[in-house]
Structure 1
Amino acid sequence: MDRIAILIPCFNESKTIKKVVEDCLKSVSSIPNSKVYVYDNNSTDNTAELAKKAGAIVRYEHKQGKGNVIRRMFREVNAECYIMIDGDDTYPAEEIPKMANYILKDKYDMVIGDRLSSSYFTENKRAFHGIGNKLVRWSINFFFKNDIKDIMTGYRAFSLEFVKTYPVLSRGFEIETEMSIFAIVNNMAIKNYVIDYRDRPMGSVSKLNTFSDGFRVLRLIFTLYRNHKPFNFYGILSLILMIISIAVFIPRVWIPYRMTGVVANMPTLIICGFCAIAAIISFYSGLTLDAIQRQERREFEFRLQEVRKFF
């Protein structure tokens, strides 16, 4: 088992990968049994060859998408501490020992390289990326009641327990959002660590599509909120349906009936009845799913205890 495993997912990063690998190796040169793994994701340039020459262990993932690459990494690599860093040379590799120290000595489960509290908004040249990062950060911290400073950063450190219990479901760039929510809902120890961010060098192109990938991230937040906070989600839906039912029933059905003794709007009464029934079903669905979710969290705690024994 490695002491520190540095994981670099790559797709067409030939302009920067050599420097990134060399910087990573230099940063852990004093830490025994530390390795750099580059996982090539169908690059059409010579990313893999350059990474291998620079000293990295090169492996391949043929399913396209960052989430697919990270799934492969987490399955194949065993280490006490994992560092995930992008191959575009936007993150400072010299911070790796400090981030790893939080995992190995302070027993955090995930250390987040926080760009947004430092130089991101001055270095980043893509305006909508900054807006999207703020929106995603606000959404997760509001719905999941946490204080993560940078949700979509690709610079993170993980414990063995996190990596071997985290089920990677996302296929693309929404993977960082999924990681953050997984850590929050399972009450894992999270550390925000401020880093300096530098924009991509000339000729290096971002693979993130601001709008399509941003939409997928927001859809994922909605889905995970429904899955992990079912009582809140279905309780709110139940309340909305009941308010609509009552708001329509009283002026359109109840008041005319009290005045005339006749139900003048039978279709409206039927619709209000269906809304009320749907509200009740939604409420009890939330209760049932919440009980299932609580049971899953209990089982997760047992899985955490088994991971360290297995490895």
Structure 2
Amino acid sequence: MIVTKLSIIIPAYNEEATIHLILDKIKAVNLTSGIEKEVIIVNDCSSDNTENAILRYISQNAALGIKYLKHEHNKGKGAALHTGINNATGEFLIIQDADLEYDPQEYKDLLGPVLNGYADVVYGSRFIGGRPHRILFFWHTIGNKFLTHMLNLFTNLNLTDMETCYKLFNTKLIQSIHLTEKRFGFEPEVTAKISRVENIRIYEVGISYYGRTYQEGKKIGWKDGFRALWCILKFGLFKAA
């Protein structure tokens, strides 16, 4: 598979403390065979100084060619991803959170199955492989594995980490899918709908995980877990469009 550009979609909400750091990490990545990086930041109406931090970074790093988009009202992570996906022009795109929980140096690992002609979609799993993982929340891990198991039950997949941020998609494929979930329901919705694509080739690779606490800015909570379960039933069991 020939890939000349990878679009990197970054949804950002109140990430003034880390946005420049993750952009530095992305800037430092040298992709396989000189693949061009297209960085798309979607500011979901942050209430802190995220916008100023982004604009300052863009002015100092013009060569990176960052596309900056913003919502005038807070809509949720899923809505920010919809905006980024719709504006992507690379053959493939990857989702990157604006915090420091995931390592952009691992883009090359996710691209591997694509470049070797095996995959249309690649998920980075925090539960396989021998990469470093910060030890944090027991119940989050149990909840994640439960939600992943439930989605697998209704989609006949055998994923290990449905809730992972690192998802790499064929851009035309993901742009052809109608996505509706505006918050963290994006994960089960996109996975369920991708699973129904005829002859889809989905792979997983092991990734590291440098998780953060709520004091450090983590945002997902128990309400999002219940929403994810509802979305699994809606899009997995009932196969809503």
The answer to whether the superposition gives a TM-score over 0.5 is yes
- Would you say 1:46 and 2:49 are equivalent positions? yes
Task: State the partner residue of 1:60.
Answer: 70
Task: State the partner residue of 1:156.
Answer: 167
Higher helix share: 1
Contact 1:113–1:193 (8 Å) recurs in 2: yes
State the secondary structure of the residue aligned to 1:79: coil
Contact 1:111–1:192 (8 Å) recurs in 2: yes
Q: Measure, in 2, the Cα distance between the counterparts of 1:8 and 1:149.
A: 23
Contact 2:113–2:119 (8 Å) recurs in 1: yes
Cα pair distance change 1:40/1:119, threshold 3 Å? farther
State the secondary structure of the residue aligned to 2:203: strand
Deviation at 1:154, TM superposition (A): 0.8
Deviations 1:263-289 (A, max 9, x none): xxxxxxxxxxxxxxxxxxxxxxxxxxx
Give the alignment partner of residue 145 of structure 2, picking from 129, 134, 140.
134
- Would you say 1:14 and 2:16 are equivalent positions? yes
- Would you say 1:167 and 2:178 are equivalent positions? yes
- Would you say 1:191 and 2:193 are equivalent positions? no
- Would you say 1:93 and 2:96 are equivalent positions? no
State the secondary structure of the residue aligned to 1:94: helix
Deviation at 1:76, TM superposition (A): 1.7
Contact 2:121–2:203 (8 Å) recurs in 1: yes
Task: State the partner residue of 1:296.
Answer: none
Cα pair distance change 1:104/1:166, threshold 3 Å? farther
Cα pair distance change 1:123/1:93, threshold 3 Å? same
Contact 1:111–1:191 (8 Å) recurs in 2: yes
Q: Measure, in 1, the Cα distance between the counterparts of 2:204 and 2:92.
A: 17
The structure whose RCO (Cα within 8 Å, separation 6+) is larger is: 2
Q: Measure, in 1, the Cα distance between the counterparts of 2:229 and 2:35.
A: 41
Task: State the partner residue of 1:33.
Answer: 36
State the secondary structure of the residue aligned to 2:11: strand
State the secondary structure of the residue aligned to 1:12: coil
Moved more, 40-49 or 116-125: 116-125
- Would you say 1:76 and 2:76 are equivalent positions? no
Structure 1 unaligned regions, length at least 5: 230-292, 294-311
Deviation at 1:162, TM superposition (A): 2.2
Contact 1:110–1:157 (8 Å) recurs in 2: yes
Deviations 1:227-272 (A, max 9, x none): 339xxxxxxxxxxxxxxxxxxxxxxxxxxxxxxxxxxxxxxxxxxx
Higher radius of gyration, 1 or 2: 1
Cα pair distance change 1:52/1:105, threshold 3 Å? farther
Deviation at 1:121, TM superposition (A): 10
Deviation at 1:49, TM superposition (A): 2.6
Contact 1:82–1:159 (8 Å) recurs in 2: yes
Identity %: 23
Cα pair distance change 1:44/1:85, threshold 3 Å? same
Q: Measure, in 2, the Cα distance between the counterparts of 1:92 and 1:134.
A: 22
Cα pair distance change 1:118/1:33, threshold 3 Å? closer
State the secondary structure of the residue aligned to 2:140: helix
Q: Measure, in 1, the Cα distance between the counterparts of 2:141 and 2:8.
A: 27
What TM-score do the two structures reach when normalised by structure 2? 0.85
Deviation at 1:104, TM superposition (A): 4.3
Any residues of structure 2 matched to 1:155-234 within 5 Å, and which? 155-187=166-198, 188-200=200-212, 203-209=215-221, 211-228=222-239
Q: Measure, in 1, the Cα distance between the counterparts of 2:115 and 2:178.
A: 22
Deviation at 1:12, TM superposition (A): 0.8
Contact 1:119–1:197 (8 Å) recurs in 2: no
CA RMSD of aligned residues (A): 2.6
Task: State the partner residue of 2:117.
Answer: 106
Deviation at 1:181, TM superposition (A): 1.0
State the secondary structure of the residue aligned to 1:59: strand
Contact 1:13–1:204 (8 Å) recurs in 2: no
